[in-house]
Structure 1
Amino acid sequence: MARKKGEPECCFDCVPCSEGKISNTTDSMECTSCPEDFWSSPQRDHCVPKKTDFLSYHEPLGICLTTTSLLGTFTCVVVLGIFIHHRSTPIVRANNSELSFQLLLSLKFCFLCSLLFIGRPRLWTCQLRHAAFGISFVLCVSCILVKTMVVLAVFRASKPGGESSLKWFGAVQQRGTVLVLTSVQAAICTVWLVSASPVPHKNTQYHSDKIVYECAVGSTVGFAVLLGYIGLLAFLSCLLAFLARNLPDSFNEAKLGIQHITNCKPSNGTAANGDASLAEELNCFFPRFKVKPEELVTALPPALNNNNYTLSVQENEVRRVLRAVNPKKAAGPDGVTGRFLKECAEQLSKVFTKIFNLSLSKSIIPPCLKSATIVPVPKSLSSEALTTTARSPSHQSL
């Protein structure tokens, strides 16, 4: 109630209480404030609990995030299973399988950590969400960083006098580097959680009639150091990737791939230096795989009976192949260009059909079809490029 101005003291007006206050007593002159977790009713005569707001699994945004997280986790698990199943194949072994397994595992944990940000905040979820994601993401970035470092080390080892750089990037060193980088993030998270860990917080400043549940980060410095360390590793990875962008196509990565695939290592424990040395090591390595003659015979498909089967080509097939020849391709030792074969396909198809069928019936390949012209093409005119980065494309007869 409020007294009327200019009227006797017995004259009053009924004025409703402001938001957040109530009056449930007749002829009351004052309004009572509601408790912190309550709000006034529309009639301002009693207090009602405030509505709560947080990212729920039942909301559209929560459903989308949960679906994305589970789909990403399932994809990582499937790819990891495929890698493990084919772990003895050359492509997996040459791709640094151990770091690839760790990378897929860390990506799976990163997807699962997003589930901790959904639902009503609890003490354990607030403490775990940032720490778990920070450690998992650092593990992922560390694997990428070490992979890039290995590529740069292999490139340096391919240059004269750089063979010693590979000894710092063996399997033990790679494993240790990832462990140390991840342990630093784990130590940061431990200090942060012990000193001032995140706790659930009721935020009533966004909405007066609603309570927003969130996690207070606790120590802002600890949270900033966690994010700063992630940013530092990401910056180093981008920097190394930028440095590796101009690596030559023939920087002897194939040599490293062969050694990963076959475990071909010289007796002295150093990498093969030069093509001749690598060829000698391969000659010493592959004779170790001995196959009995009877096993080799059973492994081969049965021979074709020449009386019942005759291999031949048709003229229309030869004509179709000649018409599909790229006219811009360089000519081989015979000097016949692709443009000539394409434009004269109608006239040449009959001649080539007879030559091919005669070759198949006699089981003889003409020597001119087995020769090739090899021309070294250096990437620059320096003397070092002529021996280290020169490509050797071979041109055979079209």
Structure 2
Amino acid sequence: MTACTRRVRLRPVDLLRLGMIGPRTRKMRSALSALGICLGIAAVVAVTGISASNQAHLLARLDQLGSNLITVAAGKDTQQKIVPLPRTAEKMLGNIAPVQQVTAVGATKAQVYRNDLVPKEQTSSVTVLAARLNLLDVLHASVRTGRWLNTASERLPVTVLGDQSAQRLGVNAVGERVWLGGQWYVVAGILKPNELAPELDTSALVGWPQATKHLGADGTAATVYLRAYPERVPAVQAVAAATANPSAPSTVEVSRPSDLLTARNEAQGALTGLVLALAAVALLVGGVGIANTMVVGVMERRGEIGLRRALGARGGQVAVQFLLEAVLMGFIGGVGGLVVGAATVYAYALAQGWPASIPYYTVAGGPLVSVLVAAVAGIYPAARAAKASPTDALRSA
């Protein structure tokens, strides 16, 4: 009587145990193969995390500074000559219904120097502007040290320096004097940098009455800053030029500084796409490394494969064993890359003072992508192992 041969299915635990044979016995080779996947996933996590952290920082800054600021400035005509705003521009813009706040700075004919011994041509690119008292309120700006102009100091030889202008003039503290417009001016304060009005960083600001009386200002606004209701900003932008200069609206420049910050963030997003493409190349290289390791492993373990086939293991079971080895290396590389990338994001965000942010899809997708890449890379070696003949494998072992 002939005994019936019963096929035995391997339990998942047994398959996992078989899949761990390669990584356990060839630790260094497996680690180097997983390193390629690890670097690719780490690059993806780091790039997307840093980009998300930067965006979170930008949104926080826009919320703090306000995205409803509109700048109206004198522009150029067809002959590229500056056309000043009319004297009534500031008042007319303030009469637009959705406008909440309005302020302005005016041009002067004065130059500022560290002292009266500096040659006149060495201006350090610092401009002298007349400023309204509510300038900081409208721009949501603040003073780094000292104080802003008030109703008394705006009529006196007192100035407030922008952040960069203080550095260029070598002024480190309030109370120091600078040579401005042919006389000494006392520095009352130094401003913090302002992203929405960077022109103030390179300026020396004086009171409007003082600039008009002693520094050659004609009382005309060079730049007008408006705060409008957020939902009405586009409408105000559409009528601002015609309101400021009805006779020549094409010579008026109207901008929204927050749009510049958003555009800068989009430009950084383009760079992020490039880096992600490089990370994809790293993943591809990692997959090729795993495939190469598995092919070499199949060749080296022909004796093991032949013995298992001779003992009754089917080709599919052998294929699953080697495919699991590839998947395990990919999973280890993916988890390692996730840890390395997350650590990089948090360290960089901490150094920049940003809120750390890692997209959830990166956390979930990193190991998944690495497993898929490793699985694809392991298909050919697994198929090659499954097709090995038991007798040929034992003979060549």
Fold similarity call, TM over 0.5: no
Give TM-score scaled by structure 1 length: 0.25
Q: TM-score when scaled to structure 2?
A: 0.25
The structure having more radius of gyration, on CA atoms, is 1
